[in-house]
Amino acid sequence: MFEDDEIRSSLEKERRREQAGKYKPLPRNRQTEKELKRIFDYGTEVELTKYLRENGVADGSKRFAEIVKLFREHGGKRA
């Protein structure tokens, strides 16, 4: 399972990419982080993809693929 430190380091990398202007960031707040952690721990891939789409991450983007890949490696459910 991913530890909080791994999730934080992933978010730090994402923040650096945002500063470079590569893509629109997800909202940064505790609620967003709690929702993503809940989805990673207990949710399904369908929930994750729906959440990402609602927050402006396009299906065909490299970022979308990376997040889904992390979810699958984490052992997420594909239901």
The domain spans of the chain are: 4-73
For the chain, give the DSSP string. ---HHHHHHHHHHHHHHHHTTSSPPPP-SHHHHHHHHHHHHH-BHHHHHHHHHHTT--TTSHHHHHHHHHHHHTT-B--
Q: Each residue of 30-68: pLDDT tens digit?
A: 888 888 889 888 999 999 999 988 888 888 888 889 888
d(CA 73, CA 25): 23
Q: 57 near 70, Cβ under 8 Å?
A: no
36 closest CA partner among 49, 23, 24, 25: 49
Model confidence band, residue 10 (pLDDT cutoffs 50, 70, 90): confident
